[in-house]
Amino acid sequence: MQISLKVYGEHARMVSHLIAKNPHNLYERKEKGGLVRIVFTKNEEHEVQILFFVTVDNMELTKNQTNFSSITHYINDRESAVSSIFCSVLRKAVGTALNGKPKDEFKEWVNYSFPLEITFGPLSTKLTNHELAELFEPLGYELTIENGKVLLPKSFAKKSSAKFITLKAKQTIQDCFRHLFVLIPVMDQYKHYYIDEKEVDKLKRYGEGWLSSHPKRNEIIKESLVFSDLIEKSRLIESKPSEEKQAPLTKKKSLNQWRYEKIIETVKKLPHNSRIVDMGAGEGKLTAQLGFISGIEELIAVDPSEREQLKAKKRIEALVDKPDFLLPTFKWGSLFYYDSELEKKDIFILCEVIEHIDENRLGKVFDTIFTKYKPYHVIVTTPNQDYNAVYDMNEAKRHSDHRFEWTQQQFEEWTKYWESHANYKVQIDGIGEYIEGYGYPTQMAIFSQKRGG
């Protein structure tokens, strides 16, 4: 994890006093969470270059982890990606700059705007390039984004999600660091530590003088504080009462909710729908909604993750006293392990599941579903890769765990293959907002047994 800072102009050398570091010495300190190194790679009269490098303590990465049964506990990008971890380890070392409190003789330079260039990375983010620009450009930065270079075949290299960001602007050193310490965690969308009222204080302190007027203020605050009660307590999100009375804000429906509603609607219309299996049920969001469908006699939620099933059970516990709710049965299971108890049900649902399976293993999975389990109907949803262009994603996948994402043509070819090789007919549909030339964000296939099956 590293940040490179270049400062230009006749007063460039003043930056060493503003960060309180000797340009002739390597700064190396162990901090809670890792090792910080700061080195001046160039210290000339009109140009100073400084490298801030953090090596994370691997043990620190495991703290506050709850998913100890997941392989991502051991394999992830946290050790190398610029993130909240990077900021928390570096914070003390650049505290003089963040707080704007150098020695008295240099205080006049705290408010001096230097021509500077900042490069940082690798950054793992789900934000599009346009969304990244919306964070920095209002603050006066010129933004350049490069995808990380990886030593992989070209087909994989194009899909690298790691980004290196370069910012150019005329800024004070204090503002520069405050912008980064607020916006890097927003871009990374991952907090490795417990979020409490201290995070509110930090956001107010580092956001002073710029956050209140930022056009993406509300989004920045929500990503920084995560929890609604903290957001409310912070009183940082301002609303205009007069405008609210005239036109109340309506929360945009999430794509997940689009999926659940479409699946529920589809299930209700199918002729056989009393015994349902939610394969890959995860934390039970869809299962919870399926439980309210009138006429259901059996609902089975299957998932290979014990942690996700615990979440699902907790979600369901809040619904057990609701009228007309069918309590689901939870089963540990996987599409790779045959379970005779799942045979001959009415509906199998695989909601955003297949893209998490290696493409070359799908044949075996669906052969088992169609020839051994033999449900009356199989509902499959998966991302539409064509639609990724709408999100400014080019060839990138929507989630780092996706093994593949299919175009509309690929999805149709796959469904037609099974229509000709299994005793099922297929109907293709879409979910979400339709855009001409790109289709729907989510593709859906409904397989139904042919007569005589």
For 287-311, the pLDDT digits (tens) are: 999 999 999 999 999 999 888 999 9
Q: How many C-beta atoms surround the C-beta of residue 323 within 10 A?
A: 5
Percentage above 70 pLDDT, the chain? 80
In terms of domains, do 24 and 153 share one? yes
Inside any domain, residue 243: no
Q: What are the structure tokens assigned to 322, written together? A: 């609701």
- Min mean pLDDT across 28-37, 72-81, 211-220, 254-263 is at 72-81
Q: How far apart are CA 274 and CA 158, in angstroms?
A: 45
In terms of domains, do 143 and 260 share one? no
CATH number at residue 34: 3.30.1610.20
| Beta pairing partners, 29 | 36
| Amino acid letter, 10 | E
Q: How far apart are CA 375 and CA 412, in angstroms?
A: 21
Where in the sequence is the domain holding 40, given as residue range(s)?
2-193
| Amino acid letter, 251 | K
Give the per-residue pLDDT at 350: 97
Share the mean pLDDT of the chain. Answer: 83
Helix, strand, coil percentages for the chain (3-state, nearest 5): 40, 25, 40
Contact between 93 and 29 (Cβ < 8 Å) = yes
The residue from 169, 193, 217 where one domain ends is 193
Q: How confident is the model at residue 93 (pLDDT cuts 50, 70, 90)?
A: very high
Q: What are the structure tokens assigned to 244, written together? A: 């609210």
CATH number at residue 341: 3.40.50.150
Give the per-residue pLDDT at 354: 95
pLDDT at 247 over 90: no
User: Between 184 and 380, where is the model more confident?
Assistant: 380
Chain-centroid distance, C-alpha 184: 14
In terms of domains, do 108 and 10 share one? yes
In terms of domains, do 172 and 294 share one? no
pTM of the model: 0.50
How far, CA to CA in Å, does 443 sit from each of 51, 352, 381, 409?
46, 10, 6, 11
Q: How far apart are CA 427 and CA 349, in angstroms?
A: 15
In terms of domains, do 438 and 366 share one? yes
Structural domains in the chain (count): 2
User: Between 236 and 99, where is the model more confident?
Assistant: 99
Inside any domain, residue 237: no
pLDDT tens for 300-340 read 999 998 889 999 999 999 898 888 999 999 999 999 999 99
Residues 6 or more apart whose CB falls under 8 angstroms from that of 140 comprise: 169, 170, 171
The residue from 171, 193, 215 where one domain ends is 193
pLDDT at 179 over 50: yes
Angle at 253 between CA 248 and CA 257, to 5 degrees: 145
3-state DSSP assignment of residue 415: helix
- Helix 173-188 with 197-206: angle, nearest 10 deg: 140
Inside any domain, residue 229: no
Classify residue 143 by burial, with Cβ atoms within 10 Å: 0-12, 13-18, 19+.
Answer: middle
In terms of domains, do 14 and 143 share one? yes
In terms of domains, do 175 and 56 share one? yes
Q: How far apart are CA 160 and CA 396, in angstroms?
A: 7
Give the per-residue pLDDT at 158: 45
pLDDT tens for 183-217 read 988 887 544 444 445 667 788 889 999 998 999 98
Contact between 381 and 263 (Cβ < 8 Å) = yes
Contact between 377 and 446 (Cβ < 8 Å) = yes
Inside any domain, residue 137: yes
Residue 178 has phi, psi (to 5 degrees) of -65, -40
Give the per-residue pLDDT at 290: 97
Inside any domain, residue 200: no
Inside any domain, residue 92: yes
Scanning 291-407, the segments in alpha helix (DSSP H) are: 306-317, 362-368
In terms of domains, do 365 and 292 share one? yes
